[in-house]
Homo-oligomer: A and B are copies of this chain.
Amino acid sequence: MKQLIPHQVKKGEVGRLLVSCVDQPGITMGISRFLNEQGANLSNSEQYVVGDHFFLRVEFRFDDLSENIEELRKEFARIAEPFEMEWRMIPASRKHRMAIFVSKADHCLEDLLWRWRNKELDAEITMVVSNHLDLKPLVEPYGIPYYHIPVTKETREEAARKQAELLQAEKIDTIVLARYMQIIPNWMVKEYKNRMINIHHSFLPAFEGAKPYHRAYDRGVKLVGATAHYVTSELDKGPIIEQDVQRISHLDTVRDIVRIGKDTERLVLARAVRWHLNDRVWVTGNKTIVFSGT
C-alpha cells in the first residue's frame, strides 16, 4: 500500500495539558480541534471518565512553546470556559521550584538529593529548611541553601512565618516534607494546596498520627508501609499519591521495622515527587488520578 501522507517527525517543544470537568459530549473533540488548529502535535494522551467526571492529560509538541505559553493559555481558556474545566497547561521544560523540609532523619533527603543529582527529578531544589542543624553537612556539597529555623511550641507560628517569607522570596511551588516532624499551620497548608507532599511511615489509613512503626509492632502486622500524600488540614488524611509495603517478621523489633521502613519511605516519596514534577498527578476530591508515564 502506498503511504499517502509523508512521515514527519513531530517537532517542537513538549507541553502538557491537564483537564478535568463534568463529563459531557464534545470535550475531547473540542480539545483535539483546539490543539490541531494551534498547530500542536499530540504524542501521549490519556483520558478517563471516573464517576461523572472527565480527566485528561495530553503531551503535545509546539514550536517555541515557552515563548507562546501565555498566548496559548488565553486561547485555551475560551474552550475551557463553557465546559467549566479545571485545567493546567505547562511547558515540560518548566522546572518546579522545590523546597525540602527535614528534621533529623536523613534517608529521604539523601535519596532525593541523589536522584536530583542523577537527573531523575526535574526540579530546582532551591532550599532545604530544617528545625535542626543535623543535616546541614549533607546539603552543603550541593550548594543548596540550608535554612535552620528552630521550632518550639511557642515559636511555631513565628517559625512558619519565617518559612513562608523564604518560600515566597524564592517563588517555591512545590514543598516536600521529607520526614519533617512538625505540624504545618493551616494557612500554609492552604497556600500550598496540592503542592505540598508528605511521606507518612504507614500504609494509611492504618496508623495515622504519631509513632506508626511502634504501633505496627504492637499490632503485630506482617507488612509495614509508607504513604506519600498531599498535605491537607487534617493530619494524614490528604489525597494519597503512592503507597507501598514491605514484609516484616516476628523477629523484627521496632528498631528493625524503622530500618526496613526507611527503604519503603524513600522509594514511595521519590515516586510521588517524580510523578508530581512530571505533572502526572491530578487531585479530585480527596483522591488522586495518577496518569501513566515515566
A binding-site residues for B, Cβ under 8 Å = 1, 3-8, 10, 22-26, 28-29, 32-33, 35-36, 41-50, 81-84, 106-107, 110, 114, 118, 120, 141, 203-207, 219-223, 225, 239-245, 249-253, 256, 259, 263, 267, 285-290, 292-294
Q: Which residues of B contact A26 (CB under 8 A)?
A: 5, 36
In the complex where A203-B203, A251-B48, A253-B294 touch, is A259 in contact with B223 (Cβ < 8 A)? Answer: no
Q: List 8 A-B contacts (CB under 8 A).
A: A3-B84, A8-B24, A10-B25, A44-B49, A45-B45, A205-B206, A222-B242, A251-B293
Tell me the bound Cα distance from A90 to B25 in angstroms. Answer: 21
Docked pose: A43 CA to B24 CA in angstroms: 9
Closest Cβ of chain B: how far from A185's Cβ, in Å?
A: 25
Given A219-B205, A294-B252, A28 and B23 contact (CB-CB distance below 8 Å): no
* In the bound complex, CA of A207 to CA of B204 (Å): 10
- Chain B residues near A285 (CB-CB < 8 A): 220
Given known contacts A7-B24, A120-B259, A256-B294, is B81 in contact with A1 (CB within 8 Å)? yes
User: Contacts of A45 on B, CB cut-off 8 Å?
Assistant: 28, 45-47
CA distance A107 to B50 in the complex (A): 28
Assembly CA distance A7 to B53 (angstroms): 11
Compute how far the CA of A41 lies from the CA of B207 in the bound complex, rounded to whole angstroms: 38
Partner of A8, one of B8, B10, B25, B267: B25
The answer to whether A245 and B242 have CB atoms under 8 Å apart is no
Q: Do A114 and B107 touch across chains, with their CB atoms under 8 A apart?
A: yes
CB neighbours of A256 from chain B (8 A)? 294
Q: How distant is the Cα of A3 from the Cα of B16 in the complex, in angstroms?
A: 25
CA distance A249 to B55 in the complex (A): 14
Contact indicator A219/B203 (Cβ below 8 Å): no
User: Whole-angstrom distance between the alpha carbons of A72 and B289 in the complex?
Assistant: 33
Nearest chain-B residue to A23 (Cβ)? B10
Residues of chain B within 8 A of A33, CB atoms compared: 29, 32-33
Which B residues are CB-close (under 8 A) to A250?
A: 48, 50, 287-290
Q: Which residues in B have their C-beta under 8 angstroms from that of A49?
A: 10, 43-44
- CB of A251 to closest CB in B, whole Å: 6
